[in-house]
Amino acid sequence: MVITETPLDFGLIERCLKKDRKAQYEFYEKYAPKLYGICLRYAKTVIDAEDILQDGFIKVFRYLGDYRGEGSFEGWLRKIMVTTAMNYYKKKNLVSKDVEPETIRIPVHNDHEIVSAMSHQELLRFIFELPDGYRTVFNLNTIEGYSHKEIGEMMHISVNTSKSQLSRAKSSLRKRIDLLFKQEESMMQFQTATCY
């Protein structure tokens, strides 16, 4: 599946910069559905996701004039939403709640196959159920593409702690997925056995 970026409407942006409320609403309607998914990945609740989305759009409208047309516009919007989500939980002192001591070192494996065999909704549910620190690092690294150094700076943790959190998140996801596959396999065997 190829994800294409929505064509940039410079006229709409220009009207938003002039504080045109109708244009701002149109802009919100155009980009909110894509950005809401990002907020959901970082939020602990749907209400938090909605708050993050609203706070993020306030920042988008505040800094819209700073976008210089370099790089992906939707990438620029995503970065604002991720930063807003991180700041949302920093204010509540919850971002690094599950961070392990920095002395723990766990090797990180580059195994992305755990996500390939699942539906999008199943994966989102499993990610949502991860402990806060695991979920945040997993989202930032695996989905958003931030390096462990960048994550460390954003979350005020060491690179090793970021790696540890990612490894534990992947391990937790792998266990959940293995359990799901075993349950489905058992169901299929049971159904096959009852058919004969």
pLDDT given for residue 108 in this prediction: 37
CATH code of the domain occupying 1-94? 1.10.1740.10
pLDDT given for residue 195 in this prediction: 56
Indicate the CATH number of 95-196 among 3.30.365.10, 3.40.1390.10, 1.10.10.10, 3.40.50.300. Answer: 1.10.10.10
- DSSP letter string over 40-71? HHH-SSHHHHHHHHHHHHHHHHHHGGG--S-S
pLDDT given for residue 58 in this prediction: 92
pLDDT given for residue 171 in this prediction: 87
The whole-angstrom separation of Cα 50 and Cα 53 is 5
The whole-angstrom separation of Cα 168 and Cα 132 is 12
The whole-angstrom separation of Cα 78 and Cα 90 is 18
pLDDT given for residue 115 in this prediction: 43
pLDDT given for residue 6 in this prediction: 63
Total-model pTM: 0.58
pLDDT given for residue 80 in this prediction: 92
Residue located via tokens 């819209």 = 64
Per-residue pLDDT 10s for the chain (196 aa) are 344 566 778 889 899 999 899 999 999 999 999 899 888 888 888 888 899 999 999 999 999 988 887 788 998 999 999 999 888 877 765 444 444 433 333 333 334 444 444 566 777 788 888 888 888 888 888 888 888 898 888 888 898 988 888 889 888 888 887 777 676 666 666 655 565 5
pLDDT given for residue 128 in this prediction: 81
Orientation of helix 73-91 relative to helix 148-155, angle to 10° = 40
pLDDT given for residue 43 in this prediction: 84
Q: Tell me the domain boundaries of the chain.
A: 1-94, 95-196
CB-facing half-sphere around the CA of 60: CA atoms within 13 A: 25
Report CA dihedral (67, 77, 54, 133) to the nearest 10 degrees. -130
pLDDT given for residue 142 in this prediction: 83
